[in-house]
Amino acid sequence: MLIDAAHLAEARRRIAAASDILVLTGAGISAESGVPTFRDALTGLWARFDPEELATEDAYRRQPGLVWDWYEHRRTLVAAAQPNPAHHAIVALAAQKKVTLVTQNVDGLHQRAGSTDVIELHGNLFANKWLDGCGRCEAAPDDGRSPPRCIHCGALMRPGVVWFGEDLPRVARYRAEHAAQTCDLCLVVGTSGMVYPAAGLPGVAKDHGAGVIVVNPQPSALDATADLVLRAPAGQCLPMLWPPCAAAPA
């Protein structure tokens, strides 16, 4: 996709001048690595389900084995994906500037690319936590049961992601909002801007005087907030925005 040369030059200038950058990423950056969106993964045996049947606490309490197996399926799909040039470019930027990386993605690709201290607003697909635990929960040895249960109280282990109807992790949300209030540039990459409260962060940044750049091959709800929109895939665009060009390892 051809990137507007004037917009590219202006984005480079703004990034070079910035000293504190908030990078907000969404599903688009992961899609370029082949990670299916939540709904796109509802294929094959899972095609008959709605997301609300597989991603709520109520659903998990009703059918824990079904929901756990769905997340195991998603983990298998995501584990096969690799970070793309956009992920590596963000690592390169963080080596040159103060960067706070906030992501709506749960796939861990930023960390696999080398980003550290990533603020995961929606949790992590490969993490687990306890549902109604006793405070000293310990998983039983693998006995073939799905999902695992605590050997002390029988509590269910659950995926460490934010389900429909749940609040964002308090610390992650606080850190993200603080970054939006204190940055001088907000770079929004591959997010539709439809999921709140994450979608509100660029507006917070702008209200506090920061510039906003959107990188997305498709129109998004955040285009109106942006000072500059680069209509291109993240993997193509981000490595062009700052030196050195970040390439994936050979």
pLDDT in tens, 208-218: 999 999 999 99
Q: What is the pLDDT of residues 34-72, one digit of tens each?
A: 997 766 766 666 777 777 778 999 999 999 999 999 899
- pLDDT band (50, 70, 90) for residue 250: very low
Quick check: 248 pLDDT over 60? no
Asked which of 137, 161, 185 is the last residue of a domain, the reply is: 161
How many structural domains does the chain have? 2
Q: For the ranges 18-32, 137-151, 156-170, 175-189, which has the lowest average pLDDT?
A: 137-151
Whether residues 182 and 206 fall in one domain: yes
Instruction: Please give the positions annotated as active site.
Output: 122
* Domain, as residue range, for 140: 36-80+127-161
**Could you tell me the two tokens for 92?**
């390169």
Quick check: 171 pLDDT over 60? yes
Quick check: 203 pLDDT over 50? yes
Quick check: 228 pLDDT over 50? yes
pLDDT at 249: 39
Whether residues 115 and 224 fall in one domain: yes
CATH of the domain at 69: 3.30.1600.10
Task: Give the residue, 170 or 243, on which the prediction is more confident.
Answer: 170
Whether residues 151 and 247 fall in one domain: no
To the nearest whole number, what is the mean pLDDT of the chain? Answer: 90
Is the entire prediction scored with pTM above 0.75?
yes
Asked which of 138, 161, 184 is the last residue of a domain, the reply is: 161
Quick check: 113 pLDDT over 60? yes
pLDDT at 41: 65
Q: What is the pLDDT of residues 124-161, one digit of tens each?
A: 999 999 998 888 898 877 766 789 999 999 899 999 99
pLDDT at 142: 73
Whether residues 118 and 1 fall in one domain: yes
